[in-house]
Structure 1
Amino acid sequence: MSRPENAVALVTGASKGIGSAIAKSLAADGWAVAVNYRSDEAGANAAVKAIEEAGGTAKAIHADVTSGDGKALLKQIEDDLGGPVLALVNNAGVARDNIVLQLTDEDWDVVIGTNLTPAFRLTRDALRPMIKARYGRVINIASVVGPRANAGQSNYAAAKAGLIGMTKTIAAEVARRGVTVNAVAPGFIATDMTADLATDEIVKAIPARRQGTPEEVAAAVRFLASDDAGYVTGTTLYVDGGMSA
């Protein structure tokens, strides 16, 4: 089936970086986009402005996805943008890195509670409208760190590996209903989260010998959200310059 005309895409954590690039990419592909943010209102508004100036439709939506009130968020978006959320991009995330002996319970809980649990809850709540429409796209932003060890990120790796496992399982459950569920696993991408890292040293270990861009991640999401990807489900698309090879 083709995407319904009133379909809306929700991108969580979309005020900057990868999330903002994804929102702009989906809008360019004809989706009305809910640009979710928790604290960076200016960034979300800037993303919306860029989308509108390019001829697209978007609205900044303030919500803390860790609150667990996904149904209210989805209803607000449907009211504001005139259609159901039929593409959900679970992008919101944080990092609190440390070696395991120094990682606190709070560090663990915050990362799991931001990067994994909200993706489960929002996916669960968004699936009913998708199944009703016989069309849906769920795309979880994982990480190359999920299946590949990176010292100091046991909490982050657990969350991202959990996203990949969740993606496969839910994909199998809803595949016959016209809903696809996939993951995109970025590698070392140039964002605020990586700005303070030793870039020159890290890229030496990347076969492509450079950082990726948010737009390159967004291009993968755009494909998975498209009609062309209707037979692609339960997979993880790596955008990592060869790190996972």
Structure 2
Amino acid sequence: MSAGMSGERKAVLVVGGASGLGAATVRALAAAGHDVTFTYRSSPERAEALAAELARAHGEGRFQARRLDLSDRAAVEVFCETAEGEGYYGYVHNAGQSADALAAMLDQDRAEAAMQVNFWSLTRIAKALVRGMIRARAGRIVAIGSVAALQANAGNAAYAATKGALIAYCRTLAIESAKRGVTVNVIAPGFIDTEMMAPYASHRAGIERQIPLGRFAAPEEVAAVAAFLMGEGGAYVTGAVLPVDGGLTAMMGIHRS
């Protein structure tokens, strides 16, 4: 299956692609015919195994893993200097560092650390890549947000703020770059069945009862939306925030006993 109308393979960068939703996104993009570079923070064995798996499954493609700690601003700068010249057609930003605390008890240091990973790194990498996309008059940026930025949830103030900033930035970048053929969109997942949800295992049944579809998402269901936005079908979608949440944000959330 070709990545574009002329059959050429297109290079896509997935930040945070070694496990969970990121790995599902890498697999979906590879299956759609893209060459994929993905970053990992602390699991080189898992990342290299994924790259090898993709090479076996899609022999004609190019797949590579690169280490990148989004919390390290200097490392992000060095990464961007390299990435800027590589001509990426697509960029998926998948990062989610939590900083749980009540809004009135917000710790600024912890909140700033989450903001660096979830938001500032996105802006820096987008700045590096969007120039090439604008020159090519073609590009796709997809950021993974969260329904937490759309609906308030107690204890999520800092995390929601990082994802809210991400949405505001992406919508602005979308209108600034649209005339140059670049689309920018945000996917806002609800609860996804990944390792990140492990701390909530004891609450899972109760959470699922509150989701209209009655279950967590499979990572592949969210990854499919990223692949759609990266493909030909998503060409006229830009500046959008797409909840993939089983109906969670559509619901008022008041429970009758």
Change over 3 Å in CA distance of 1:64–1:2 after alignment to 2: farther
Q: Using the alignment, how far apart are the partners of 1:43 and 1:97 within structure 2?
A: 28
Q: Is the 8 A contact 1:34 1:77 kept in 2?
A: no
Q: Using the alignment, how far apart are the partners of 2:132 and 2:72 within structure 1?
A: 21
1:233: which partner in 2?
238
Superimposed CA distance per residue, residues 19-76 of structure 1 (whole angstroms, 9 cap, x where no aligned partner): 1110111111111111101111122112212211211431011122343455642554
Q: Using the alignment, how far apart are the partners of 1:143 and 1:167 within structure 2?
A: 13
Task: Report the CA distance between 1:204 and its aligned residue.
Answer: 1.0
Superimposed CA distance per residue, residues 191-212 of structure 1 (whole angstroms, 9 cap, x where no aligned partner): 1111120111111110000000
> Size of the alignment, in residue pairs?
242
**TM-score, normalised to structure 2's length?**
0.88
**TM-score, normalised to structure 1's length?**
0.92
Change over 3 Å in CA distance of 1:10–1:153 after alignment to 2: same
Task: Report the CA distance between 1:3 and its aligned residue.
Answer: 7.5
1:41: which partner in 2?
44
Q: Is 1:73 aligned to 2:76, yes or no?
A: no
Q: Using the alignment, how far apart are the partners of 2:78 and 2:104 within structure 1?
A: 39
Query: Which of 14, 17, 22 is residue 20 of structure 2 equivalent to?
Result: 17
Q: Using the alignment, how far apart are the partners of 1:140 and 1:65 within structure 2?
A: 14
Change over 3 Å in CA distance of 1:75–1:240 after alignment to 2: same
1:136: which partner in 2?
139
Amino acid in the other structure paired with 2:211: I
Q: Using the alignment, how far apart are the partners of 2:26 and 2:172 within structure 1?
A: 26
Amino acid in the other structure paired with 1:173: E
2:225: which partner in 1?
220
2:172: which partner in 1?
169
What percentage of residue pairs aligned between the two structures are identical?
Answer: 37
Amino acid in the other structure paired with 2:79: L
Task: Report the CA distance between 1:154 and its aligned residue.
Answer: 0.4
Q: Is the 8 A contact 1:19 1:91 kept in 2?
A: yes
Q: Is the 8 A contact 2:81 2:128 kept in 1?
A: no
Q: Using the alignment, how far apart are the partners of 1:13 and 1:213 within structure 2?
A: 17
Root mean square deviation, CA, Å: 1.9
Superimposed CA distance per residue, residues 152-200 of structure 1 (whole angstroms, 9 cap, x where no aligned partner): 1101100111111111111000001010000101001011111120111
Q: Using the alignment, how far apart are the partners of 1:129 and 1:3 within structure 2?
A: 20
Amino acid in the other structure paired with 1:61: R
